[in-house]
């Protein structure tokens, strides 16, 4: 798990990308198509850097919990916590 990097990917509602992101999921760089929670992500889903996690985006709670376990260096040092 050393050096693992992540990205955020958008999940859209019924209107698709035009309606904006319903929520954001965390994916590993090795497989951008599957979120940590197991949800399959669309190839067209907007992708953002992992640094945007915790900045007010509506994120999947399950992904967030798993992300914190994979990135213990962020606990207590995140500028938004």
Is residue 16 one of the residues assigned to a domain? yes
What is the reported pTM? 0.82
What is the C-alpha separation between 54 and 67, in angstroms, rounded? 11
Is residue 80 one of the residues assigned to a domain? no
Give the CB-side neighbour count of residue 57, counting CA atoms within 13 A.
Answer: 24
Is residue 17 one of the residues assigned to a domain? yes
Structural domains of the chain, count? 1
Q: Where do the DSSP E strands lie in 1-81?
A: 6-12, 21-28, 31-35, 47-49
Is residue 1 one of the residues assigned to a domain? no
pLDDT digits (tens, 9 = 90+) for 31-42: 999 999 999 999
Is residue 53 one of the residues assigned to a domain? yes
pLDDT digits (tens, 9 = 90+) for 55-71: 889 999 999 999 988 88
Is residue 55 one of the residues assigned to a domain? yes
Structure tokens at 29: 């760089």
The range of the structural domain enclosing residue 33 comes to 6-73
Q: Determine the Cα angle at 62 with ends 57 and 68, to 5°.
A: 80
Is residue 81 one of the residues assigned to a domain? no
């Amino acid at each position: 798990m050393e050096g693992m990097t992540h990205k955020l990917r958008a999940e859209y509602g019924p209107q698709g990308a035009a309606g904006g992101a319903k929520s954001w999921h965390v994916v590993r760089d090795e497989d951008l198509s599957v979120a940590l929670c197991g949800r399959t992500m669309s190839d067209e889903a907007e992708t953002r850097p992992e640094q945007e996690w915790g900045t007010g985006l509506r994120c999947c709670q399950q992904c967030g919990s798993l992300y914190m376990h994979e990135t213990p260096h962020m606990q207590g040092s995140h500028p938004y916590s």
